[in-house]
Amino acid sequence: MPLTAYDLSDRTAFVTGAAGGIGRASALLLAQAGAAVHCADLDEAGLDETRALVVKAGGTAHVHRLDVADRAQVKAAVEAAGPVHVLAAIAGVMHTSPVLETEDADLDRVLAVNFRGVLHACQEAARAMIAHHIRGSIITMASGAVDSSRPGLFCYSVSKVAVVQLTRTLAAELGPHGIRVNAVAPGWVRTPMTEQHAAEQQEQIESMMLRLSPLGRLGQPEDVAQTVLHLAADASAFMTGQILRPNGGVSMPW
């Protein structure tokens, strides 16, 4: 496969959750590959920082402050971005509580962002791709939580399992239009989101992940962004309906 398979200079990418973590790393890498990147998030200050990093690296970035749970906001931003060739639906939130202590509002909030937010972005981007006859790539963000059941992660895990099913169904439905749909299911990655929700257990969790990983290291946002780039580019032109797991090997059967 020639290196041009990662050249995105003729494409527009729309990235949700781009104000930090995996979303920021993905937006930056897509821009470095040549894509005109549209960065979406609720965090306006974080978006400005991401845009500055993209520009500093020689790329092009536009920002859209929005709530992915609000379909109207997502639709307006996708339309403003023009023909979109790549969607990376990365925005997400975490909530930790035992199942018996989980309130309806907790589950509703996580599903609103992690599932419906992804659904909104996928629907609007796919409609635009079909209307403009674009054989595009849609990338969703699942999680290593789909492969295991850990105490306290009920809401988060359920939302990510739903994303996996959405990904596979969309892959089957959009394939005839030449649109590929794949998911990324990273392992534990130190991001502002994971640091916020695991502050008291950070050291314990990271120690466990180090023991489980054959590579003996934790993941970085850039590790996951490399997988996003691969799925966005022509290098993965014959790949759809797949769940890629950049997780250091922690989900391998032993």
User: Catalytic: which of 156, 189, 229, 244?
Assistant: 156
6 is catalytic: no
Tokens of 37: 């990147």
Q: CA separation (Å) from 65 to 70, 177, 215, 225, 242?
A: 12, 30, 37, 21, 30
DSSP per residue, the chain: --GGGG--TT-EEEEESTTSHHHHHHHHHHHHTT-EEEEEES-HHHHHHHHHHHHHTT-EEEEEE--TT-HHHHHHHHHHH-S-SEEEE-------B-GGG--HHHHHHHHIIIIIHHHHHHHHHHHHHHHTT---EEEEE--GGGG---TTBHHHHHHHHHHHHHHHHHHHHHGGGT-EEEEE----B--HHHHHHTTTTHHHHHHHHHHH-TT-S-B-HHHHHHHHHHHHSGGGTT--S-EE--STTTTS--
- Residue 42: which of 60, 62, 69, 14 has the closest Cα? 69
Q: Are 12 and 35 in contact (CB under 8 A)?
A: yes
Give the residue numbers marked as catalytic: 156
